[in-house]
Amino acid sequence: MTSSCLSVSLSLTMCAVSIDDIEAVRSGRQSEGLQKHTDSIVEELCFSIIFKDRRKTLDLMANSAEDASRWVSGLNKVITNMRSLSRQKTSEHWIFNCMRKADKNKDNKMTLKELKHFLHQINIQVDDTYAEMLFTKCDESNSGTLEGSEIKHFYELLTSREEINVIYGKYAQTEGLMSAANLLNFLLNEQRESVSMEHALKLIEKYELDETAKQRKHMTKDGFLMYLHQEEGLIFNPAHKEVYQDMSQPLNHYFISSSHNTYLMEDQLKGPSSTEAYIRALMKSCRCVELDCWDGPNGEPVIYHGYTLTSKILFKDVIKAIKEYSFKTSEYPVIISLENHCTVEQQKVMAAHMSSILGDALLKQPLGDQMPTNFPSPEELKGRFLVKGKRLNKLDTAFNNNSAVEDDSVSEEDEAADSKENGQKPKDKKSKMKLAKELSELVVYCKSVHFSGFEHARDSHAFYEMASFKEGKALSLADTSATAYVHHNMDKLSRIYPAGSRTDSSNYNPVPLWNAGCQIVALNFQTPCKEMDLNQARFLPNGMSGYVLKPDFQRDPSSQFDPKSLQKGPWLRKQRLHIMVISAQQLPKLNKDKCTSIVDPLVRVEIYGVPADVATKETHHIENNGFNPMWNENFQFEVNVPELAMVRFVLEDYDSTSQNDRIGQYCLPFTSLQRGYRHVPLLTKRGDIIPSAGLFVHVMVVDAE
């Protein structure tokens, strides 16, 4: 394809695609389509555009390596610039884009008819009288159209926020402006931040737009609004955006972001398998990925959901993708969880591929020069790959000369046996499978064993021997034996996986398993749902590293923590959460094809955690206003175990005759909440930021005792 052809192809394609819809631009033959249909000789000519939704990847090939490089760097620059826009700039970009669409004859003027069309575009339903009044007020020239300064006046009227005017007016006590002392007063009394005058001055320097005000150490209302839209004004504590927890604890002391059936893009009956699914999970800081391995043609193992119509991908291609993308968003270790159905011959190929592709990053021996008695830490395992699977012998054989094994078979009493749910007959629990010595030796700290009870595990299993629990079994143990489960997870790792009956790749509620201290709670990352929202929230803090340190009471051997029976203990830190849902801004239209379709938004606030803390409250709905709805409703929640609690905000389009449609949501740990007046970003079903939209709330937390 020539450079000119590329330009036309991309222009034709991109005319219907917003830059916001692009997930990534990748150089080379990284997509399955390019790998299948092109030769390695054109590697430097190829690149791919990956979309956020389920649209197919756009594969392109330039005339020269230089042209390809220019396209990739150019597109990445545009994407980076768009993502680095302040929320204020993003909002303005969105509004002016809607104005351009409403300007049908492209004359840079706005008629009354075009204004009405524009108001529908931005999700406001107004009657003709109000639209005419607004138009007449701005049409100072009486020309019958708005242009130039008149459009600017209209924009200012439209975007004026009464709630911000009230807050700013209360604290702007210096000639109608906010002095540094006024701002500090606001930060201390409203935002409940322990900050100094130096911090207030830094905010003025950083966000004030008016140079005269900045020189006088004052903050205008525009500067104040800019501050509220930046990370300092968001509900999520910016200090938690970095790795801030102790990463030197044993591996089993952390919740670990984990994926099930990682190879699937959709359902587990006939959905496509793809290396892209691994890339997407890893780029979301997933630290435990699953590989269902089966014998493939030409001696090459393949990955797919056995005995189904899901497509197959090469094992070695998956390992290459894991190698390439594991540490782009987090430097902490990745666990490769093998569900092994292969013959010994192809197991040897698996071992060879992992060793050659992952190289020294693959952990093949325990750390140190003597047999460990506990897990190493995420810090010690930075940049390393751990294999989870069956092992023929004990780990201490790695420290003696006799590595021979008496039996080359292992029990199939694990997920590989339990997960034969698609019409095939489950194997006998005592059945054996042959295991290649080469693959066995790659299993170090995550040896799969069968669970026969907490007492048996305590007496018979070493720390590195871990069980996988089907969701039903795990939820039952968490319900009936939570304290014993918590103690089991103080010594060992537990992996939970969805029941095979979830053929649509739906998910179970992970919260009760985290309450019981389970670390590897594996979910179907490919399925957008409330459970994945909670998972992304759990791993939002600590630099989105995929590792979150469990609370002390889930790590202390003397702890008697039971999430269902909250007796007195260090976990019981009762707090009262007050949330005022004030307003929302620029909510997206759900039915973009219908100009007259305007959302009727409501807000639901949900608390997740131990059973006593689970609660839901919601506002009334506001008719025909998705641009600047205002509720001013107060909610109160009692939170008993804040270290395990999460807060979720959900915006829905109210419908009296059918189920409400979701507009957006945002979820975060209770311990990451910032107090005071805060903006809440909103995410799509797939977890992407809705660029211009947001929720505005006030948060207060007080001790309940």
The residues that bridge with 649 in the sheet, in sequence order, are: 605, 666
> How many CB atoms sit inside 10 A of residue 84's CB?
9
600 assigned to a ligand binding site: yes
Q: What is the spatial order of strands in the sheet that 661-669 belongs to?
A: 615-618, 601-608, 646-653, 661-669, 676-683, 689-703, 575-585, 630-639
- The alpha carbon of 50 is separated from its chain's Cα centroid by a whole number of angstroms, namely 17
- The alpha carbon of 613 is separated from its chain's Cα centroid by a whole number of angstroms, namely 23
The closest of 122, 126, 115, 117 to 153, measured between CA atoms, is 115
Rounded to 5 degrees, what angle do the CA atoms 275, 528, 550 make?
Answer: 90
Is 260 labeled as catalytic in the residue annotation?
yes
Q: Which two tokens stand for residue 95?
A: 């509004």
The Cα–Cα gap between 436 and 438 comes to 5
705 assigned to a ligand binding site: no
In angstroms, the Cα distances linking 15 to 19, 225, 588, 689, 692 are 10, 33, 20, 22, 21
φ, ψ at 405 (rounded to 5°): -120, 140
The residues that bridge with 411 in the sheet, in sequence order, are: 432
Whether residue 305 contacts residue 261, with contact meaning beta carbons closer than 8 Å, is answered with yes
267 assigned to a ligand binding site: no
Residue with tokens 């054996």: 432
Helices first, then strands: H and E counts in the chain: 22, 27
624 assigned to a ligand binding site: yes
The closest of 90, 16, 158 to 682, measured between CA atoms, is 90
608 assigned to a ligand binding site: no
Q: Which of 218, 229, 305, 353 is catalytic?
A: 305
The Cα–Cα gap between 178 and 186 comes to 10
Q: Which of 120, 240, 253, 260 is catalytic?
A: 260
292 assigned to a ligand binding site: yes
Whether residue 440 contacts residue 392, with contact meaning beta carbons closer than 8 Å, is answered with yes
The residues that bridge with 677 in the sheet, in sequence order, are: 698
Helix or strand run (H / E) with residue 409: strand 409-411
The Cα–Cα gap between 515 and 97 comes to 46
Q: Which two tokens stand for residue 386?
A: 């751990």
295 assigned to a ligand binding site: no
The widest CA-to-CA distance across the chain, in whole angstroms, is: 96
Q: What is the 3-state secondary structure (H, E, C) of 317-362?
A: HHHHHHHHHCCCCCCCCEEEEEEECCCHHHHHHHHHHHHHHHHHHE
261 assigned to a ligand binding site: yes
653 assigned to a ligand binding site: yes
Three-class secondary structure of residue 48 per DSSP? strand
The Cα–Cα gap between 87 and 621 comes to 25
> How many CB atoms sit inside 10 A of residue 337's CB?
25
In angstroms, the Cα distances linking 455 to 16, 459, 486, 494, 613 are 60, 6, 13, 15, 30
Rounded to 5 degrees, what angle do the CA atoms 656, 657, 663 make?
Answer: 65
468 assigned to a ligand binding site: yes
Residue with tokens 């903006």: 679
Beta strands in 185-300 (DSSP E): 218-219, 254-256, 258-259, 288-294
Rounded to 5 degrees, what angle do the CA atoms 83, 322, 492 make?
Answer: 105
Whether residue 161 contacts residue 628, with contact meaning beta carbons closer than 8 Å, is answered with yes
Residue with tokens 């291609």: 317
Residue 363, judged by CB atoms within 10 A of its CB (0-12, 13-18, 19+), counts as: buried
Is 679 labeled as catalytic in the residue annotation?
no
Q: Which two tokens stand for residue 327?
A: 């540490």
Binding residue positions for Ca(2+): 261, 290, 292, 339, 598, 600, 624, 653-655
- Catalytic positions, written as ranges: 260, 305
Binding residue positions for substrate: 388, 390, 468, 495
Binding residue positions: 261, 290, 292, 339, 388, 390, 468, 495, 598, 600, 624, 653-655
